[in-house]
Amino acid sequence: MKKLGRALLVASVIGALTLAGSIPAQADVSCTPITKELKAAKLGKLYAYAVDLTTGKVLVNVRSNEQTPSASVMKTITNAAAIKFIVKPREVAAQAPYVATTSVLTNPFEQGTLILRGGGDVTLTRVKPGAYTTYFLPNQHPAKLRELAASAIAALPAGTIINKIVLDDTFFKGPSWNKNHAAYTRTTGDMSPITGLMIDAGRVNPDLTDKKYNGRRVTDPTIQAGVSFSDWLKTADDAAALAANDPTVKKLAANVTVVRGVTPVDAVKLVSADSQPITNWIRHALKVSDNTETEVIARHAELALGLKNNYTSVQQMGTKLFKSLGINSKKLIMKDASGLAPNNRVTAQLLVALLRNAADPASDIASLPTYMATSGDGGTLGGRFVEYNPVTKQNELVIPNGSIRAKTGFISGLYGLAGLITTSDLTPHTIAFAIFARNDRAHRKYVGAGTKHAIDAVVEKLYLCGPSL
């Protein structure tokens, strides 16, 4: 068998693609065994499993049933649960997409009180007109706090004077901070406290049009939302008075107070604002690996399952997901929904079993791969699976856009990648894989610079040569 190095193998196949103008049935390349790629030093201690779902052949099997930390590959499980228990049932019942609703209410027994009640919308935004956050999508903007405030001012009866704003964040239960997350993950911007009333996922400054953008998270998202709501109420109140040319029509007291509280049972809804559909959240969370967004998605999935919607319920959520799919999940340990917790545990086989299910068009989670990142789409796979093409003299994708759907993962001492590959054969094969590269101190092999490249070399080999391995 002709032996080719990785670069030559990739270049040969890319060249064939370019000259043919399409993916060839069989590139004129003899594929060597995948042994060399699996033994790369930068893979540290490797946990890997890959199966050709078209033939059932196991292509890679290294510590595949041993537990390893998950990193953000855990988001695959969490979002599969949201699809299974929220998205799919509503599709089957022909119901409108699931949204989170933020409401403004009045209290009949406290005429000067306005209540801002959160509904678990992590993307509710306070940004000004013309600005945008990471959650803005074309024609799919998040709910805007300024519009909610303006609607509330307009809906209040003439003569109303609001002197107190009550913040109800009780939609989510339990502690707002997961004790399995390091405190520094808030200041680095990786995670926010999770409350039922939030704006912009708790970011200090979420405005991507502002040079002072700051992804660091606040300590109290509820108060942040309340203060911003009060500010926007004042802006709307001033604008209404200016339009009427009458300062006496103002409905907000100059010394309005903002306090926490619970919505009374006899409160009356004044106005409300719906979030984007949860499917937007799922797509964004998987594409860019948004931790806070994923934790909120999990809380909504827990509600759909009738569980307590706090971080301690994620294990039950994951267990119920795998049980519903007929998959043994005894080796699954979920300490959070996003994978940031270092004490999470999964196995490569468990992830492949989930992906095998997702690859089945008849599965309740068949839409999962469509939400995952692919090569060249600007998500967490951006800059990966690229190689220099000597024919065109340009850097090109080794795995074309759409031929891989995967979730990346990284925490200190571990890199992960799991997903589905559609091979380049005339009759394409589907390969499910999960790879985790971990520090191996006993053998003085460490992950770091070069590890993602080493993982990608394994995945590229599966794409280029999978059916023949």
Whether residues 255 and 166 share a domain: the answer is: yes
* Boundary (domain end) residue, out of 222, 243, 276: 276
SS3 label, residue 286: helix
Q: Is the pLDDT of residue 8 over 60?
A: no
Instruction: Round the average pLDDT of the chain to a whole number and report it.
Output: 93
Predicted pLDDT at 30: 62
Residues 336 and 271 in one domain: no
User: What's the rounded mean pLDDT across residues 50-55?
Assistant: 98
Give the span between the Cα atoms of 114 and 221, in whole angstroms.
19
In a domain, 351, yes or no: yes
pTM for this model (two decimals): 0.93
What's the average model confidence in pLDDT over 325-338? 98
State phi, psi for 374 to the nearest 5 degrees: -130, 165
Residue that terminates a domain, selected from 258, 276, 294: 276
Q: What is the dihedral of CA 240, 245, 248, 254, to 10 degrees?
A: 50
Instruction: Say what percent of the chain tops pLDDT 70.
Output: 94
Distance CA 399, CA 387 (A): 10
Indicate the SS3 state at residue 388: strand
pLDDT at 79 over 90: yes
For 462, the domain range is: 10-92+281-468
Res. 215 pLDDT band, cuts 50 70 90: very high
Helix (H, G, I), strand (E, B) or coil at 88: helix
The pLDDT of residue 140: 86
Task: Give the number of other Cβ atoms within 10 Å of residue 394's Cβ.
Answer: 11
Write down the pLDDT at residue 137: 86
* pLDDT of residue 201 exceeding 60: yes
Q: Is residue 408 pLDDT above 80, yes or no?
A: yes
Residues 258-306: tens digit of each pLDDT: 999 999 999 999 999 999 999 999 999 999 999 999 999 999 999 999 9
* Whole-number Å distance between alpha carbons of 246 and 396: 63
Q: How confident is the model at residue 24 (pLDDT cuts 50, 70, 90)?
A: very low
User: Quick one: pLDDT band at residue 75, thresholds 50, 70, 90?
Assistant: very high
Q: Are residues 251 and 106 in the same domain?
A: yes
Q: Which residues contact 195 (CB under 8 A, 6 or more apart)?
A: 118, 169, 172, 176, 221, 222
pLDDT at 17 over 90: no
In a domain, 122, yes or no: yes
Residue by residue, what is the 3-state secondary structure of 10-36? HHHHHHHHHHHCCCCCCCCCCCCCCHH
Flag whether 2 is in a domain: no
Predicted confidence at residue 27, as pLDDT, reads: 38
* pLDDT tens sequence across 217-260: 999 999 999 999 999 999 999 999 999 999 999 999 999 999 99
The pLDDT tens digits for 38-51 are 999 999 999 999 99
Q: What is the CATH number of the domain that holds 385?
A: 3.40.710.10
Whether the pLDDT of residue 29 is over 70: the answer is no
| One domain, residues 66 and 209 | no
Of the residues 276, 310, 331, the one at which a domain ends: 276
- Residue 327 token pair: 């998959």
Tell me: pLDDT of 13 over 80. no
